[in-house]
Structure 1
Amino acid sequence: MSRASGHPVRVLVVEDDTQLGPLLVRGLADEGYDAEWCQDGTSALIRAGRGDLAVAMLDVMLPGMSGFELCRRLRDGDPGLIILMLTARDDVDDRVKGLDAGADDYLVKPFAFAELAARLRALRRRESVAASPRLEVAGLVVDSHDHAVTAGGTPVQLSPKEFALLRLLAQNVDETVPREQILQEIWGSIQHTDPNIVDQYVSYLRRKVDPVGSGVTLRTVRGVGFRLERS
């Protein structure tokens, strides 16, 4: 996938609203993006198959194929693609479903374009932060290049958000990562994200990352945040 420096960042807007779609494309063009518009999931998959996209913005309610299904297919095809989901539904279960499908962030309609642009900038900054592609903590290995995790040599299957959370904690091993930092870096927002979602994802990780095989333990620091410790 080509995301070469110096070239416009290509953004695919997938939105069936014939007023909002072109409006978003114009706004993104004003921000310096090379933006395109598709009205359904099938067209979006065909466009994504060319392999030169950096960002996909997906409406949840699409004709034929839901935004969740489209997100899963895009994520399977390109683990490095930045995916931002747009929806009129501000339900925690829907946000969790979108994030589990592979979305990097979730923006609720109606929104100000300035917030959308800020979210994109934050997501791109996180993607460009220089970090070791391979982290080893005791028996736990987090490989950012392959988006793979092993514990004691055994593969651990994680969703994209679980992987991002574990990587953040592994980057700060034996240090407490504040809840607010986790929300900002993993979910892109503090104000518009239920803080309890962090506890939910830490619970998922605890069930999947066995301390016996990995040699690490996930600790809750009450009132502050979470930390990954060597057992």
Structure 2
Amino acid sequence: MTERILIVEDEKSIARVLELELKFEGYETAVALTGSEALIHFREQDWDLVLLDLMLPEIHGLDVLKRIRASDAKLPVILLTAKNDVKDKVAGLDLGANDYVTKPFEIEELLARIRANLRVKNPVDDNLHRFEELTLNESTREVVRAGRQIELTPREFDLLLYLMRHPKQVLGREQLLNAVWGYDYYGDTNVIDVYIRYLRKKIDFGEDATYLQTVRGVGYVLKEQPHEAQA
């Protein structure tokens, strides 16, 4: 899923540059020009990280930080501070800010700090696989799509796991058969078609988009596609 960053900066030119750079890097963004706007955005939407200028109109950045921390202790917050505001930097870190960048800053340094803080917030879990709104946990053998718990048989789970390990790759029936059923399986390769139908009923039924697509004459691919366009 795309990570979402709230930019809180009252200088419109800086806010615009940050917005363009972050969108170019693939993040979703929103801009707040005042402390009040920042708190409205924070309360109304979920964010993965906040870039917070301290010298804001209406509500000071440190007060915005206090209110964020009062309801979310883990959301990464990077302060944007003036060069000589040592007291504000210290106060911000004491209030729970994760990091700070001094203006004027190099955009590459800021992007690196954003990536570092997002890694801490979302550590890589090799047992957790995600594709769009679909999540599969190898450890707990739980499968969830858009908050909906999906119950799978052991074989269905193993087939979906292999597909999720190779998203957007066209996988042939023989390849799927060997990976999931084993090289010593001597049954009909049509068993793949049967189990794909089982998975579709459980994963794609009633959804706006399907994830399990047929590539005629070849096999299957895990790829998002509107229902009406399904092969």
Aligned residue number for residue 35 of structure 1:
29
TM-score (normalised: structure 1): 0.51
In 1, Cα distance between equivalents of 2:61 and 2:54: 4
1:85 is paired with a residue whose SS is strand
TM-score (normalised: structure 2): 0.51
Which one of 118, 123, 133 corresponds to residue 129 of structure 1? 123
- The one-letter amino acid of 2:26's match is G
1:21 aligned onto 2:15: yes
Aligned residue number for residue 99 of structure 2:
105
Aligned residue number for residue 70 of structure 1:
64
In 1, Cα distance between equivalents of 2:84 and 2:124: 33
Considering Cα pairs closer than 8 Å and 6+ residues apart, tell me whether 1 or 2 has the greater RCO. Answer: 1
Aligned residue number for residue 9 of structure 1:
3
Which one of 52, 59, 63 corresponds to residue 53 of structure 2? 59
Structure 1 residues 196-215: aligned runs within 5 Å = none
For each residue in 1:60-102, what CA deviation from the matched residue of structure 2 results, as whole angstroms up to 9, or x when unmatched? Answer: 1001211111011111121121101101133432221011122
2:97 is paired with a residue whose SS is coil
Count the aligned residue pairs. 125
Structure 1 residues 181-192: aligned runs within 5 Å = none
For each residue in 1:93-112, what CA deviation from the matched residue of structure 2 results, as whole angstroms up to 9, or x when unmatched? Answer: 22210111221001100001
How far off is 1:130 after superposition?
6.8
For each residue in 1:37-63, what CA deviation from the matched residue of structure 2 results, as whole angstroms up to 9, or x when unmatched? Answer: 010011111111124111111111001
Distance 1:130 1:33, change over 3 A: closer
Please identify, of 13-22 and 120-129, the stretch whose mean Cα deviation from structure 2 is larger.
120-129
Which structure is larger by alpha-carbon Rg, 1 or 2?
A: 2
Aligned residue number for residue 113 of structure 2:
119
Structure 1 residues 154-169: aligned runs within 5 Å = none
RMSD, aligned α-carbons = 1.6
- The one-letter amino acid of 1:93's match is K
In 1, Cα distance between equivalents of 2:66 and 2:47: 16
What percent identity do the matched residue pairs reach? 39
> Which structure 1 residue ranges, 5 or more long, are not aligned?
1-6, 132-231
- Please say if residues 69 and 101 of structure 1, whose CA atoms lie closer than 8 Å, have aligned partners that are also in contact: no
- Please say if residues 59 and 85 of structure 1, whose CA atoms lie closer than 8 Å, have aligned partners that are also in contact: yes
